[in-house]
Structure 1
């Protein structure tokens, strides 16, 4: 396999490193134009447009959008249809995801207030969004775990209505996805997808209710549509290809690390898998493991294309330097594959999720560890966070100024308002001053 191997001591390292990281987030112009047309059409014609696009793109004919809605009984039937092992796994994963997000709610999702010395009350009121939409991929890419990761934090946040949309090409419904919707407490679910589903959620139709925020992954059309409707509604993020970065000190079984690199490379050809290690012999062992294990992988062609196109094995001077490079990359998934993970964790500032220790495979975080698997990609972990309870809440400031407080704050506000030329602001504050 033609997998890049770099060294930080090489004179051309910086140029080669930038080639590894380069990825254009620009959406194809034709997709942008088509999405804009679909959004405008759904906004203008509502259900009729949604039905037409669903028939065209998903080969699913229906007389009404109401006929595309999944009932609670259908979701329950799907839950009962899957195997007992699948039911147990869904419920165990859901319980862990719920437990984690309930702790998140306790830590950051509560209202608070205080009174200062003059009796003025200041604080913050935290309230859930009224209605959210979650987009779940369908067809070949069916992800019940995404249902749990999007719906459960919304539920924990207190959102009273969660609307799920999921494409079902040719009418093929994935029982695990429907069962996950049942377990996660989805309020309503529609078998529609693509840009038309995003438009229906953003603008509302006669059948699909308008939501306040749309979360969840999708293809290029879905990503473009979310970008277009942002401002009309909130969105979680514009996700790029999946990424994993492994920092390895050479103490982990190289087969484990090779498979961890595969776990992201198998998503698609643009996914990125990088290993950073100060141990040249260990990098050679991981490369040998890759060559040994790859032929046995069902998605070996996708994995190989991903590793050759965007993957790299990078020899660093030290683990400290590996941590510095990791902060430059700001990866979606960051594994610290070391027998001393807590020694290195304080040095790591930018990552969507940090997986500590050899036994903490990224795949556990994807499915059942508890923290959310909807993570910032393409270096956006430098300024954004995983999906969480806080994404389904908003905060209102609370201000109650006492009479004594008005005497203290009024002159300050008036002075600044006069300086800005806003006499109405100034006089409103001055009128409350004692004569």
Structure 2
């Protein structure tokens, strides 16, 4: 079905600047507050409360503006101002951000859509739970030697401007003690969907309705990249309609908030008095300001008194449609297991050997890893994610165990014993007891 675009033919339904306000001579008076608007001549009566919105899918196409179509009916429902013609809201005044929800069409399958995004429960996806993998394969990691340990602390000292390199060059490395740190992560990549009414200025043209709109979970949308959070906004097909702008009541402009529609403002040079004081010939004199009796043209609206409506961009009508927001979120749980004084946060910042990795629509808890704490955390996290994201559709899960090499370096420098850690495949260094951490009066905390 095709809905004829508005504003292409016929007289404009709203009075322009200088034109007399509605109702015209001989027309019936405006309806009282709360009463339905009068139908146009020759048009069917306006739908009563509780009746389906006008027009329904499958009804005749929309008539052009000014020809007794539904747009004229809707606009006739707006009451006149106290002066007899609508002045419009100011561009800075308090105005409803959305039209009354009753004005919006009732769309099959989207009866509860409002102006704020409402999360939609996903369809069942129990079929994604497969069989438990038969084999869990874990890989080990290597260690470093004394030469690697010295090069790591030397590079670390060079990268810190207040560290001296002399201790790194002359220290005696007494022993290397190797450890393994384990960094376990569980990622659950899930999709959520929400709908709301959205609008844009209506620039004319036709709106096509080819049938009922698809369900919110029936619209195809693929994530740009797995395990990376992103968002996509889509228009639900067959939900568009045209309605008068609620900000300017279809006029395309709003009263200027600076001059309140007058077109002039109090002169800032004379504060509205029309005269100002100047210093001439060694004395103060009161002279005419040269403005218009204490007023000047409003620079915000160029003296017109009205400004283009920012909501409809001066078009007077808005194209409303149901917007579907698809969000892909990568939920991450992380646990570090290690038995040194090295802070766990440092372990999370480096990479290690990938001891174990699996990706499935649903993963099973790890059960045979040599470190029992990793098995326990895997069970806890998998159980948590299976019940935590009930309003999202889980697309894929991935769990990893990285074995992070940690080497404690025991050394002596100037008869003083100390130690530092080299960790990660990047050979990062943690040396809180390094003997040369200050120069030129500054210190490293």
- TM-score normalized with structure 2 length: 0.20
Q: Greater strand share, 1 or 2?
A: 2
Q: Greater helix share, 1 or 2?
A: 1
- TM-score normalized with structure 1 length: 0.20
Q: Answer 1 or 2: higher relative contact order, Cα 8 Å, separation at least 6.
A: 2
